[in-house]
Structure 1
């Protein structure tokens, strides 16, 4: 039997959000598209309080496409209950946005006939590491006794290659587009688009609106800055965006996130060009105009994002 321990990773009370107290709700976005968010998301996202994983589902004439299977058995079952309360149509596809456990651990509880969709890079990353280190990592973020220990690995069935896309026909003129739009956080990010309802599910490539800033945990900053700008510029006005962790927003709600990433890269690159040390760069690039009330700003900006951008700028010199 595997023994798990709690390895604290963030300067925030563990769990960063409590899976035991999360109540997921379905928000009808029209034309068969639904967001699934915590019932606290509308009130707390703009206060900077970290929210549970957001996802959703799309209902067509022949079936349902679920986006994000969530982290714990209880949360996965909440998603299944929300779908069942909305439609009798079977779940035929389950799409996950990355290789982070809070987005895909619930795969094993999805209906057997459902096909799991994931980015090829995310699939290979999970296969390379195995599921147990990922469970241990999530326990470090979210604590013991939340059901993570019980998770069983269910791999994806359909893989989207780098730069690729997939169009899924749910019947009745309802399609879901699965898109690799570039690395917003991980090399295995996928976005899900309902063109009829004009809804885009972003995953952690766009965590949520202001005051949140990116979590550059994968050691790159330039690629996300470039990808997020390209995505932002391409998003049509009127598109609703379901972020990785927070309330439904729109294109304008994404601006703060994009501009922070661009400014981080530009300012840290200049500091490196000026010969500054990492510690001097921390002092020279406080970016206080982006410190808008996110309780994790100090930790993320100074301990994660600046070192990430600094190392990358050094390597490109």
Structure 2
């Protein structure tokens, strides 16, 4: 259906999406809020074709708040051009949602006077590993020659602590809430909420709507399941959600993602209670109702998400 094939021993086609061919567009969500998505996102997200990083920007009377500086110099400059095409107000804040390079590598190209915002845990994770290993990892996923080699590390200026909240004033009654709502993918996830425009920017805590499923790369499943359910139930009706990778959606579009995570934890927990081995659990907990056309489902579900949930369940029952 999508034209992608995934070998279980080669988890994805390289590149997953080609940064050199991505064209970002700005979608006006009203009241000064914009989504920045690939021009393929509206047509391809629900077909399961992996999309480039999504983000956006919010315009107040005095300043602009950009969400996600993107992965490559080319993509970062596209964001700057999109902002300039809408307003001549200065970019004073840049918020990144996690410590993944495709969300923050472009920091160094943002205006010098802009304040970079990040979760304290994400900042510490980057500082501990260093930028070069993260660049090499992104090159491994997205291939050479996309500009990742040229990235220079620009650390965050403002850090949001665990369970913290920061409110940013853009002027004219336009406020952006920077929220730690709990671990959705990493322990350093931040959500950016414009309550006036009823828009929330989610990052990889919510990758995208059906058929996408979570990437539980941090080795935890139970906290993300609880976090995602709580956020889904909290999101006000009528709120538009800009996911980490894909088209703009809403809480209904988030339900498949939330249901999968909860069901994964429950079914793997039952397998552990029945004393199944990991290999038996992988053969048993197939969850075909969630294998709905996402080309990375096999790798993520069987090789990443089940082992993650299995290890947690074993530790809980030890």
TM-score range, shorter chain: over 0.9
Instruction: Report matched runs for 1:58-207 at 5 Å.
Output: 58-207=58-207
Displacement after TM superposition at 1:192 (Å): 0.2
SS in structure 1 at match of 2:62:
coil
* Matches of 1:30 and 1:194, distance apart in 2: 11
Instruction: Report matched runs for 1:1-317 at 5 Å.
Output: 10-317=10-317
Pairwise CA RMSD: 1.0
SS in structure 1 at match of 2:85:
helix
CA contact (8 A) 1:24 1:78 kept: yes
* Matches of 1:72 and 1:9, distance apart in 2: 27
CA contact (8 A) 1:64 1:89 kept: yes
CA contact (8 A) 1:26 1:37 kept: yes
Using a 3 Å threshold, how does the CA distance of structure 1 residues 133 and 9 change in structure 2: closer, same or farther?
A: farther
Q: Structure 1, residues 285-308: CA drift from partner, whole Å, max 9, x if none?
A: 000000111111111100110011
* Matches of 2:136 and 2:169, distance apart in 1: 37
SS in structure 2 at match of 1:159:
strand
* Matches of 2:280 and 2:221, distance apart in 1: 19
* Matches of 2:232 and 2:266, distance apart in 1: 18
Q: Which runs of 5+ in 2 are unaligned?
A: 1-7
Displacement after TM superposition at 1:232 (Å): 0.5
Displacement after TM superposition at 1:316 (Å): 1.0
Q: Which runs of 5+ in 1 are unaligned?
A: 1-7
SS in structure 1 at match of 2:57:
strand
Displacement after TM superposition at 1:11 (Å): 2.7
TM value normalised by structure 1: 0.97
* Matches of 2:13 and 2:128, distance apart in 1: 31
Q: Structure 1, residues 38-73: CA drift from partner, whole Å, max 9, x if none?
A: 000000000000000000000000100000000000
1:4 counterpart residue number = none
Displacement after TM superposition at 1:80 (Å): 0.2
2:4 counterpart residue number = none
- The number of residues matched between the two structures is 310
CA contact (8 A) 1:46 1:211 kept: yes
* Matches of 2:263 and 2:282, distance apart in 1: 14
CA contact (8 A) 1:34 1:58 kept: yes
TM value normalised by structure 2: 0.97
* Matches of 2:152 and 2:70, distance apart in 1: 13
Displacement after TM superposition at 1:203 (Å): 0.1
Displacement after TM superposition at 1:12 (Å): 2.5
Q: Structure 1, residues 89-130: CA drift from partner, whole Å, max 9, x if none?
A: 000000000000000000000000000000000000000000
* Matches of 1:316 and 1:168, distance apart in 2: 40
* Matches of 1:304 and 1:39, distance apart in 2: 29
